[in-house]
Chain A
Amino acid sequence: MEALLANYVEKSLKQYMRRNAIFLCERLYAEFPSEVNLQLLARCYLNNNQPHSAYHVLKGMQMAQSRYLFAVACLEMDLFSEAETALLPIEELCAHVTNGAAVQYLLGIIHRDTNRMKSSVEHFRKALSIDPLFWAAYEELCILGEAEEAAVCFGDVAIHYVQEHYLGNASSYLQIANSDQSLDSSQAFGLEDLSLSHLQQMEGNNIRNICLNNHGGPNLTGPVGQITNSCCNSSFFRTPSPVLTQLSDMAPPPLIRNIRFCQNEVSLRSSTQARREFVRENESAQIRGSLFFDSGRRRSARLAAAQRSFNSTQGSENKANNLRASIKLNSGTCYSTVCKGQFQNLEEVGKLLETYDDAVSAFRATSSSLSSSADVKSVQDETVNTQLRSFISNSSKIKSGISDTINLLRILGEGYRHLCEYRCQEALNVYQKLSSKQYNTGWVLSQVGKAYFELVDYLNADYAFSLARQISPYNLEGMDVYSTVLYLMKEDMKLKYLAQELISIDRFAPQAWCAIGNCYSFQKDHETALKSFQRAVQLNSRFPYAHTLSGHENVIIEDYGNAVECYQKALHVDARHYKSWYGLGMIYLRQEKIEFAEHHFRQAYRINPFSSVIMYYLGTTLEALKRSEEALVMMEKAIVTDNKNPLPKYSKANMLVTLGRLNEALEILEELKECYPRESSIYALMGEIYKQHKKYDKSMLHFGIALDLKPSIVDVAKIQAAIGKLILPDEIEDNL
């Protein structure tokens, strides 16, 4: 009954029949209170968004898997210290435990959220070293600014590591196969005893498996499927990547393909009667095995043809049968322990392959004992050959699959790292290397959009983001940046439309509320904008951009106290959010606390040394501190970084005027005038310069143009005052 219920619970979980699963699991636990069943119950709760229930259920449990699930529940409830104490004891087993990388990743998250950045980085790095396909860990490292080059993390070393794990046992199998091919059938008889011991060994293996990692069970559905997939010539390792991206989602293994599901169903159901079926299956497998494991020399054409066709078309089926047999064994024994939504780790698959190998070798050994005629032997030989060949070709396929995956991750990782360090042009170049299939996905396109945004190229950013929205309209990540782009482009209609869409997709996404806030801010309704941003903060207080935008709004309504608080909150969440540093710098600049301003702008510059706007402000601050040479150098850098940014040039001209180098200033301003003929401040400054040169008519002309271009009231007053002073010397001259 226990196995039946457990099996059914698993099935319900897979089908997302959560209430069903919870109810049955509670009955199961009441009937057979074991820790393993408790873990299953916790999984049901976590699946149903009830982390508190899972927390209470698992409190105090000591098994590694229980601790892991407990930690997950704690994290959902933001109980960092408890999660940490739960995870620390199993940390030592990390290398052996299936989701060891996940444990390290969770520890990394805990440390980061409790402000222990260095140890957090260490944990993420460990996670990556245990499992090079752990993208989330690399992503976190990039955000913290501590990622190594993607070529290192996702490099050849990683490829070999992964390949070894997957294929490690295959080589030993091949050796056995090679050596045994020359074996006599007589020897095979002797192997009969061996076979029994093999089987026992296998059992022993399984038991060992349980002790080391109580994470067998339904996850096997994944690997089973994967292995059958590999036999089916499909790219084996396409499947791990989508699983990986769902790491944070606590759903059970999502890789349910229809065919495999049925197969797994069958296997699971049968696994309920473990012991008895084991023997029965063994026999049936033996018989099946005997069909093609009979060793022998040259075979008759008929048998050969039969076998060949059998192998080529149904080779997968055979292997699947074998696998199923062995995995039934595995699942039967490892079944009761469940792993919570973690992707299959290499060790797990490796072990499965191990058991597969053992099973195959056992069957071969046993069936070789049943061999009769030389014909059959030859058939067996042939089939062993083809088995080997297909195995070898499979392993090469596996190898290429692994290297493909890791190459893909390398490109993505490199692009992401560049973007996190604001080397936007390089990031764009890297992303260009992706295949068009991968490039035209929501994630990549919004990364591209962000890169263009940081380069102040809003047109291209708009294009990239709108493409992303067309391709995956449900993906809200990065849409907050898109709303800012539209805000800065003053695209009122598009911005409103975007906000409406985002809210209708997900009312609880902070990005949607950021977009709404931007809408209101554009309409100058700053109070409501602030409220919207605060709502985004409430939805996810670890979303730094919401805090930053709140800060910006507070600055606009001149509530500097709150603005400083908001910016500091943003920095608390993510110290590399350079916009908050910039915001704080601007506040201090306005309040004339220039040294503070300089410190903050410098921090922003340190994080993003490629932003001409930050350089411009840093230069302005330095000028205010009377450090003119440094200021000029910084302005030069800004001009070089982004030639399209007119502000550093203007500022440089201004500085030159102060330094008395009027002609150089005039040159710059003439250039600027060509590009931006409607900018009143250029003419105003030129008017000032001509006045100093005593070219009063030119000065008058420029002041006049400046006034025509409708500057602000303050400037009107200034310019008119300047004109007034111009007239004065004229009058004096006239009078003379």
Chain B
Amino acid sequence: MATESSESEEEGKITGGNQHLIVEDDLREMGKKAAWSVSSCKTGNGVSSLRDDNLETYWQSDGAQPHLVNIQFQKKVKLQVVVLYVDFKLDESYTPSKISIRAGDGFHNLKEIKTVELVKPTGWVYLSLSGNDPRETFVNTFMLQIAVLSNHLNGRDTHVRQIKVYGPRPNPIPHQPFQFTSREFITYSTVR
């Protein structure tokens, strides 16, 4: 059935986490072109800590749950995976437990596309946005919102150390229907 990917609601539990961030070559980080904002933060632990590639710094929220991280793009982009760095050993009760990811055109029409429960995560956690249908590999959207619904040990505020958002690389040769795979085609495709 052809369904919009934003409709699927699956629950899954994720334990542990990866020490290293390993992403497929086909994907590239899309966060540089987005506007990032958070629902609340403590002074000194603001949204910039989420994007500074430094795992020592973290964002600390300072308000009521759910805590939100909003990522807004200038045009519709295809996104495939969201990666968070959270560590139970360091943050304990500040570690997020239930996370919901929503997508839409703006604040007015966000729809939840994924819910995940983390159990004592320690490192990079990969949240894939793809649906089951191969046609739903990507989420094509203007805005993504990551909501922290609850924390471990019922903590009020949350710490998140880093967030990255990945989407597919565009065709290096614009205006072609399919990307080239063989060496001869690729050789002739650029002038260097």
Contacts and interface: CB of A to CB of B under 8 A. Distances in A.
Contacts of B27: 713
Contact of A589 (B134, B174, B180, B189): B174
Nearest to B80: A713
A246 interface: no
Interface string B146-175: 000000000000000000000011110111
B181 A613 contact: no
B191 A579 contact: yes
Interface stretch (A94-102, A124-132, A461-469, A677-685): A677-685
Given A646-B184, A679-B182, A684 B177 contact: yes
A582 B168 contact: no
A715 to B, nearest CB: 5
Contact of B137 (A456, A651, A706, A716): A716
Given A654-B177, A712-B169, A724-B135, A614 B182 contact: no
A695 interface: no
Interface in B88-147: 134-135, 137-138
Contacts of B24: 713
A681 B188 contact: no
Given A678-B181, A713-B137, A552 B192 contact: yes
Contact of A679 (B80, B135, B174, B180): B180
Contacts of B135: 717, 720-721, 724
A717 B192 contact: no
B77 to A, nearest CB: 12
A685 B180 CA distance: 12
Contact of B134 (A484, A679, A709, A720): A720
Nearest to B180: A681
A616 B192 CA distance: 15
Contacts of B11: none
Given A589-B174, A590-B174, A611-B191, A716 B134 contact: yes
B129 to A, nearest CB: 13
B15 interface: no
Contacts of B176: 620, 651, 654, 681
Given A676-B184, A679-B181, A711-B181, A620 B191 contact: no
A163 B172 CA distance: 58
B18 interface: no
Interface residues of A, number: 49
Interface in A524-576: 549, 552
Contacts of B168: 712-714
B191 A613 contact: yes
Contacts of A77: none
B189 to A, nearest CB: 6
Interface in A641-681: 645-647, 650-651, 654, 676, 678-681
A487 interface: yes
Most buried by B among A651, A678, A679: A679
A371 B24 CA distance: 100
Q: Is the interface of B mostly helix, strand, loop or mixed?
A: loop
Contacts of A612: 188
A620 B175 contact: yes
Interface in A208-222: none
A505 interface: no
Contacts of B185: 646-647, 650, 676, 679, 681
Most buried by B among A621, A646, A654: A646
A693 B95 CA distance: 57
A711 B178 contact: yes
Interface in A414-465: 456, 458
Interface residues of B, number: 32
B179 interface: yes
B10 interface: no
Nearest to B192: A484
A712 B188 contact: no
Contacts of B187: 456, 458, 488
A627 interface: no
A680 B181 contact: yes
A678 B174 CA distance: 21
A280 interface: no
B56 interface: no
A388 interface: no
A645 B192 contact: no
Contacts of B169: 712, 714
Contacts of B192: 484, 487-488, 549, 552, 579
B128 to A, nearest CB: 12
A317 interface: no
Nearest to A489: B187
Interface string B4-48: 000000000000000000001011000000000000000000000
B86 to A, nearest CB: 26
Given A613-B191, A646-B184, A685 B178 contact: yes
Contact of B181 (A654, A710, A717, A720): A710
Contacts of B181: 678-681, 709-712
Nearest to B28: A558
A274 interface: no
Contacts of B184: 646, 676, 679
Nearest to B183: A490
A194 interface: no
Nearest to A677: B182
Interface string A259-301: 0000000000000000000000000000000000000000000
Interface string A710-732: 11111111101100100000000
B154 to A, nearest CB: 39
Most buried by A among B170, B177, B190, B192: B192
A718 B178 contact: yes
A557 B4 CA distance: 32
A624 interface: yes
A623 interface: yes
B79 to A, nearest CB: 12
Contacts of A487: 192
Contact of B179 (A484, A613, A654, A714): A714
A685 B174 contact: no
Given A488-B187, A590-B174, 14 more contacts: A582-B191, A614-B191, A620-B173, A646-B188, A647-B189, A679-B180, A679-B184, A680-B182, A681-B181, A688-B177, A711-B181, A713-B26, A714-B171, A716-B134
27 contacts: A487-B192, A488-B192, A579-B192, A589-B175, A590-B170, A590-B174, A613-B189, A646-B188, A651-B176, A654-B177, A676-B185, A679-B181, A680-B178, A681-B180, A681-B181, A684-B177, A685-B178, A688-B177, A712-B26, A712-B169, A712-B179, A713-B137, A713-B168, A714-B168, A714-B170, A714-B179, A715-B178
Interface of B: 2, 24, 26-27, 78, 80, 134-135, 137-138, 168-171, 173-182, 184-185, 187-192
Q: Which 10 pairs across A and B sit closest by C-beta, in order of nearness?
A: A681-B178, A720-B134, A679-B182, A721-B135, A717-B137, A680-B181, A712-B179, A684-B178, A713-B26, A645-B188
